[in-house]
Amino acid sequence: MSNSFADDFSLDFPRALGPVCGKALFRRQCEDFEVDEILGFELSGEGEHLYLQICKVNENTRWVAHLLADHFGVDGSAVGYAGLKDRRAVTTQWFSVHIPKGQEPPVLPDMPGCQILSVTRHSRKLRPGAHGANRFVIRLGEVSGSRDGIEARLSTIAAGGVPNYFGEQRFGIGAGNLREVAAILARPSPRFRGKRGGLYLSAARSWLFNQVLAAHLKEGAWPDIVSANGASDGPLWGRGRNPAQPSLAAFEAEVLQPWQAWCHALEHSGLKQERRSLVLVPDAFSWRWQNADLVLSFSLPPGAFATAVLREVAVLIVPEPMV
């Protein structure tokens, strides 16, 4: 990889539906961004894993997991959760804590910014990606642009979806995670160590997927170009043979040629080749106006980003600072 790439991590990926319809204030307050995790399976009420459904405001998932481990006196690995939820939001999600049979849990913790909504038990730890979906209610403030145009765009999204890009959160502030990847790979003996190294590898993998998806969009009109290229999914790079059809695999290899050092690092990290859908169609999509604000409601599968939907509608302006 040329060193020039290290300074060029633009996250302004091609949009599918043409220019945005206007501008909107995004996350003026935590209550403007609500996420409700839907497990998608029944909890048995029995077993060695204590399950807690927690609503948190302006707190991140890992911090809550740390507090739970500390409170129950267990190792961090004994605490499970299905996914990392946004901090600057009101989010409801499940956590599991391994507490062996016969051992009574102490009094439930009192955690600032958090409310325990439900407690039960189950036989298995909650693993990443194990939930069924995430339900979003998002308020965009002081929306500019034609309402007719915005509603037409929303109808188009509801019918045909949007590019399933990984969101900017995956890449860190100012694409900092990607810059760290580039810096590590520039060393004589690059190593990705610990949780931080795993975070960087995840960002690298997501970046390569977005590069392939962006290349499809540059080839022609959405969404026809996806099927025309024989593609329904794109690569989550890792070790093993690319399972795509030969013509599609050749297309992806050409796109990723400048990023061979990144591909090599992922192949030697223990990650295996996987695929991710190129198209994201929000489920149960609805919207309503409240004066100049637009309130959107929809569900997305695990690993999908709400900002992938929003970026096709408006330029999002985040007021600073937000407490």
**Residue 96 falls in which region: left (phi positive, over 0), alpha (psi -120 to 50) or beta:** beta
Residues 152 and 245 in one domain: yes
Indicate the residue among 131, 162, 177 that finishes a domain.
131
**Domain limits at 8?**
3-29+137-280
Indicate the residue among 63, 98, 131 that finishes a domain.
131
Indicate the residue among 86, 109, 131 that finishes a domain.
131
| Active-site option among 8, 70, 86, 110 | 86
> For residue range 157-183, what is the model confidence (pLDDT) as tens digits?
999 999 999 999 999 999 999 999 999
> For residue range 25-36, what is the model confidence (pLDDT) as tens digits?
999 999 999 999
- Tell whether the model's pLDDT for residue 279 goes beyond 60: yes
7 is catalytic: no
In-domain check, residue 242: yes
Residues 55 and 15 in one domain: no
Q: Is the pTM of this model over 0.75?
A: yes
Residues 76 and 225 in one domain: no
Residues 23 and 163 in one domain: yes
2 band by pLDDT with thresholds 50, 70 and 90:
very low
Residue 5 pLDDT: 46
Residues 125 and 156 in one domain: no
In-domain check, residue 95: yes
Q: Based on the structure, what is the number of domains in the chain?
A: 2
Residue 195 pLDDT: 85
